[in-house]
Amino acid sequence: MTLDVAVVGYGLAGSVFHAPLIAAEPRMRVAAVVTSSDERAAQAEREHPGVRVVASADELFADPTGIDLAVIATPNRTHAALAAQALDAGLPVVVDKPFAVTAADAADVVARAERAGLALTVFQNRRWDADFRTVRALTEAGRLGAVRRFESRFERWRPVPKGGWRELGDAADGAGLLFDLGSHLVDQATTLFGPVKSVYCELDRRREGVRSDDDAFLALTHDSGVRSHLWMSAVAPQLGPRFRVLGTEAAYVTHGLDPQEAALREGRRPDDGKPWGTVESEHWGTIGAEPDVQPTPTLAGDYPAFYAQLAAALLDGGAVPVDPRDAVATLRVLEAARRSAADGQVVAV
C-alpha cells in the first residue's frame, strides 16, 4: 500500500524539507499540496506530476477523501490550529517544528489525537543529522565516559536581516531564533540527556529593524546532572564548534553543518542514486583527551529515516518517529527560557 500525503504549505519547509523526503519514501507519495500561490502551485505540479493542488486547508479538510496523512508545513503560529483541523478530519498528522507557539496549545493537540486514536508526530529532523547521530552513538557506547557538559551551536553570519515574519514577527508568531533553532537544540539535548529541571537564558536583538531575537544562549540543567549550553545566533562573524561534548574520559568536538539541508536546497533527493548524508573525512570530528586526540568517522545523516519510520507506524503498527509529548516538553523549556531572559534569573521548568 502507498500512503497518499497532503503537504499543507509549500514554502521552504513544505517544498524543500518535506515533499522530497516523502517522494523518496517507497510507501508514500505527494498526492496533494495546499498553497494559495500560483507560483508555488506550478512548482508543486512540476515537481510532483499528478499532484492535486488546493488553495486552502479548509478546502482540503472539507473533503479529505483519498488522503492518508497531512503534513503541516505552514508558519509557526498556524501549526496547532491546522493540526487540530486535520485530526478532526480524521487524518494522521506530521507537524513541522516548533510543534506550536505554546506548550498548552501543543498539549491540546496531543490530547485531541489520543481521543481520536490517530497518529501524531513532530518533524524533529535534526535527530537524524550526521553529527548528532555520531554524538548519540559515542555517548551511548560510553566512549566519552560520563558526560558532564554538552555544548551545541547553530550560528550564522547574517548581519543584514532578510525580513519576513521570522525576523519581524513577535512571540505570538513563534518568531525568532529561540523558537526556530532552539526547537532543534533543546530537542537534541533532551534526547541525549533527558528532562530539564532548570534553564537560564539570554535573548537579544542585535540587528537594527528586527523585532524578534536573533542571538540567544541557553544553559540547561538536566535531571541527570548533565549541563547543556546551547547557542543560536544570526550575528556570529566566526562560527564555534557545532558540538563540543565533555566527558570524564574524553571529549568529542566537531565543526560545520550536516550536509542534508544543503543537498535538499540544491534540489537533490535521497533516492537519486548518489550517497546521501555522508561526511568526508576532512570534516570528521575528533575524539580523545589531550594530547591524544584523533579524528573519528561521522555517521551518515539520515533524514529519510523519519518518513520511513512513519510509514511503518501507519502501515505496520510501529511507533511514530518522534513522540509528540517530547515536543511539548521542548516547548515548556522554551517558555521557561523566555521567562528567564525577561527576569535575568534561573527558572525551574
Note the pLDDT tens digit of each residue in 137-150.
Answer: 999 999 999 999 99
Mean pLDDT of 318-324: 97
Inside any domain, residue 211: yes
Residues 47 and 193 in one domain: no
Residue 321 pLDDT greater than 80, yes or no: yes
Residues 237 and 344 in one domain: yes
Residues 337 and 239 in one domain: yes
Residues 249 and 155 in one domain: yes
Residue 170 pLDDT greater than 90, yes or no: no
**pLDDT averaged over every residue in the chain:** 96
Q: Where in the sequence is the domain holding 29, given as residue range(s)?
A: 3-123
Residues 132 and 93 in one domain: no
Residues 6+ apart with CB under 8 A from 300: 130, 133, 275, 276, 277, 278, 279
Residue 165 pLDDT greater than 80, yes or no: no
Mean pLDDT of 41-55: 96
Residues 147 and 117 in one domain: no
Residue 80 pLDDT greater than 80, yes or no: yes
Inside any domain, residue 112: yes
Inside any domain, residue 286: yes
Inside any domain, residue 260: yes
Show which of 78, 103, 123 is a domain's final residue.
123
Residues 230 and 146 in one domain: yes
Residues 95 and 131 in one domain: no
Least confident piece of the model among 25-29, 167-171, 196-200: 167-171
Check which CATH number belongs to the domain holding 112 and give it. Answer: 3.40.50.720
Mean pLDDT of 19-44: 97
* Percentage of residues in the chain having pLDDT higher than 90: 94
pTM: 0.95
Inside any domain, residue 312: no
Show which of 123, 139, 159 is a domain's final residue.
123
Pure H helices in 117-237:
130-140, 165-168, 177-180, 182-193
Residue 173 pLDDT greater than 90, yes or no: no
pLDDT at 128: 98
Q: Give the integer Cα–Cα distance in Å for 174 and 181.
A: 11
Check which CATH number belongs to the domain holding 337 and give it. Answer: 3.30.360.10
pLDDT tens for each residue of 295-312: 999 999 999 999 999 999
pLDDT at 164: 82
Residue 208's DSSP bridge partners are none
* Percentage of residues in the chain having pLDDT higher than 70: 100
Residues 341 and 251 in one domain: yes
Inside any domain, residue 314: no
Q: Give the integer Cα–Cα distance in Å for 191 and 255.
A: 20
Question: Which H helix or E strand runs over 264?
Answer: helix 260-265
Show which of 123, 144, 167 is a domain's final residue.
123
pLDDT tens for each residue of 103-140: 999 999 999 999 999 999 999 999 999 999 999 999 99
Residues 239 and 204 in one domain: yes
Inside any domain, residue 74: yes
Mean pLDDT of 217-242: 98
Residues 119 and 131 in one domain: no
Inside any domain, residue 310: no
Q: Is the dihedral of CA 35, 266, 303, 21 positive or negative?
A: positive
- What's the pLDDT band for 97 if we cut at 50, 70, 90? very high
Nearest 10 degrees: Cα torsion 248, 153, 17, 278: -50
Domain count, the chain: 2
Residues 197 and 82 in one domain: no
List Cα–Cα distances, 148 to 108, 144, 145, 259, 301, in angstroms.
35, 10, 9, 28, 25
28-34 vs 93-96, strand pairing mode: unpaired
